[in-house]
Amino acid sequence: MPEHVIGIDLGTTNSVVATVQGGQPTVIKNRTGSNLTPSVVAISRSGKRLVGQIAKRQAITNPTETVYASKRLIGRKYSSLQVQQAIKVLPYNIVPGEHDDVRVRMAGRDYALPEIAAMVLAELKADAEAYFGKPVNKAVITVPAYFNDGQRQATKDAGKIAGLEVLRILNEPTAAALAYGFGRNVTGKVAVFDLGGGTFDVTVLEVGNDVYEVLATGGDTYLGGEDFDQRIIEWMVLNFAKEHGIDLRKDRMALQRLKDAAEKAKIELSGVKETQINLPFISTPPGGGAALHLQAVLTRQKLEELTADLCDRTLKICEEVLSEAKIRPQDLKEVILVGGMTRMPKVVEGVRDYFKKEPCKGVHPDEVVALGAAVQANTLVADQGEVLLLDVTPQSLGVAIAGGYSRRLIPRNTTVPTSVSEVFNTSKDNQTTVKIMVLQGESELAHENELLGEFILTGLREAPRGEVEIDVTFEINAEGILSVSARDRETGQRQSITVTASGGLTEDELRRIMDEQRDYLLEARMSDELKQKRGELENVLREIGELFPRVKAITSGSEFGSDVLVKAEKGLADARRALEKNDLSEIAASADQMGRTLNLFRGVIQRIGG
């Protein structure tokens, strides 16, 4: 029996875990029986970690300690525009970390984003373990194609923290195409249109003979279902403000209820033309008086109006990606829809009009990515080498050069793995060091791109400018993770880095968090065991208590009887002490001992008292 491996779609809104079972990719249900696990984590008042549905359910009453949509923050810098925008709409506490990374404050402790993602991954891992009845240690985890190096690294870190060996970070659209192509003899160009909770991407692949070659990919990591929800929220807030002069956004509890109602209305409007929004007791007038309720009717048409520009943006990106790959919409054999938002009729209509064909409904938009990840995980451990994936790098990579410019070494949409070297010269006289600043992005200007990392090559020979030559090599592995090295051509001296984004975790931090996670899981397991043993002992004690008077009456006068009773009383006193101390090993020992006493009591009643 080969080991069990899983594929995980770590989504903005929901996550899914899948495996290949009996040759078929299959979704693993979570322990509440659902295929989707909300990517929501919270810390309860008693300090317990809550993940998934249970965390989502308490979000309304505990908005500041419930973290959702954290995929929008992972691997980003706190000072980035995207994070600053997110802070405005997310009700939980987002704080800066030590190296401009993002932290989330819950129950008085700051959590790094990979830690938050790890809580979701650990839950899915546990679900898979419950399904197999065995430990699961290896996984393929998917990320949006547009994720940059930092976001990929952070996701990989999350896997490590959750106790998973991440076999591969796989692009979501590639995973979707894999699931689509599984067991079918597909050849030709296909597009994957993925509109999820937080991100949008579109990818064109050439599929044939078990080769999946990405031709082009593009997207927006800040365009997804949450934005559609936000438009409905704004509409409700505006109407309420007009009517009552109150800004509901200032009230976090109200905001959370609005968000919930907005998403619910949006989803309903995929099936019906009109929906009623009811939020009783949403506010009170500033000067006191009767509570205010929010009641509104939202039509599908109004929703489409409120979100028309969002739909247009997805199609504009399709146009750019196709034109870059020099492909016309009609050249595509199939368009695969991925992500919950592709259930919205207007989104499907836009895709149909643009690509001039009916998009593929053969695959489940919520599950297809996890299924593809499972297929890939299976291929990697089985070492069958059956499927060849050729991904591309989603953004251009380069170095900063004199004058504040950026010099591109690897243009975007280059097939990975890849390696590029270029020779650079010193730009000043007697320059003995050179700083290599690694940039990601499309701008000619260095500061407009993202700085992924930097290092210094020292010990250059003093010489007129331009004389000393340095080889700079960029290498991207199959997962899209970048290593950069620089070499002095004269001395052969080298410096290199695997680029860990400056917004990520350091090795030390990662190790500390992994230790903490192990302790937490150990403790959680211990506390489950403790609870179970306590329950066992309490049940035994109750039964003994009930039988005690009868045993006493039956055995009165016999020496054997008084011996049994004295021993039982001592055992009861020990058991109460163990429960009070709440010590697992004492409670377990006591449960064993009292179990034997209970059996003895039953025997006495049966044989003598019968």
Binding site for ligand AMP (CB under 6 A): 11-14, 196-197, 225, 263, 266-267, 270, 339-341, 343-344, 366
Distance of closest approach, residue 340 Cβ to ligand AMP, in angstroms: 2
Q: CB of residue 600 vs ligand AMP: minimum separation in angstroms? A: 57
- The span from the CA of 596 to the CA of 274, in Å, is 66
> Concatenated DSSP letters for 291-319?
-EEEEEEEEHHHHHHHTHHHHHHHHHHHH
Identity of the residue, 349 or 519, whose beta carbon is nearer to ligand AMP in the bound complex: 349
C-alpha dist (Å) from residue 451 to 86, 121, 353: 21, 28, 39
Smallest gap from Cβ 141 to ligand AMP, in A, equals 15
**Residue in this structure with the two tokens 């984590």, named with its chain if needed:** 41
One-letter identity of residue 370 = A
Nearer to ligand AMP, 196 or 441 (CB): 196
Task: Say how many CA atoms lie within 13 Å of 206 toward its Cβ.
Answer: 9
Active site residues: 9, 71, 172, 194
Q: Which two tokens stand for residue 321?
A: 């990606």
| Torsional sign, CA 477, 482, 483, 489 | positive
Residue closest to ligand AMP when measured from CB atoms: 225
**Which C-beta is closer to ligand AMP: that of 125 or that of 266?**
266
What is the nearest approach in angstroms of ligand AMP to the Cβ of residue 225? 2
CB 299 within 8 A of CB 323: no
> How far is the CA of 274 from the CAs of 297, 299, 347, in angstroms?
7, 4, 17
Angle between helices 368-382 and 172-181 (to 10 degrees): 80
Q: What is the biggest distance separating any 2 CA atoms in the chain, rounded to whole angstroms?
A: 111
The residue among 5 and 176 lying less far from ligand AMP, judged by its C-beta, is 176
φ, ψ dihedrals at 585, nearest 5°: -70, -35
Residue 341 CB, nearest approach to ligand AMP (Å): 4
> Which of 154, 587 has the CB closer to ligand AMP?
154
Smallest distance, ligand AMP to C-beta of residue 267, A: 4
- DSSP bridge partners of 445: 405
Burial of 333-370, coded b for 16+ CB within 10 Å and e otherwise, reads ebbbbbbbbbbbebbbebbeebbeeebbeebbbbbbbb
Residues 6+ apart with CB under 8 A from 248: 236, 237, 240, 241, 254, 255, 258, 282, 283, 294
Report in angstroms how near the CB of residue 144 gets to ligand AMP at its nearest. Answer: 10
Residue with Cβ nearer ligand AMP (193 or 601): 193
Nearer to ligand AMP, 13 or 151 (CB): 13
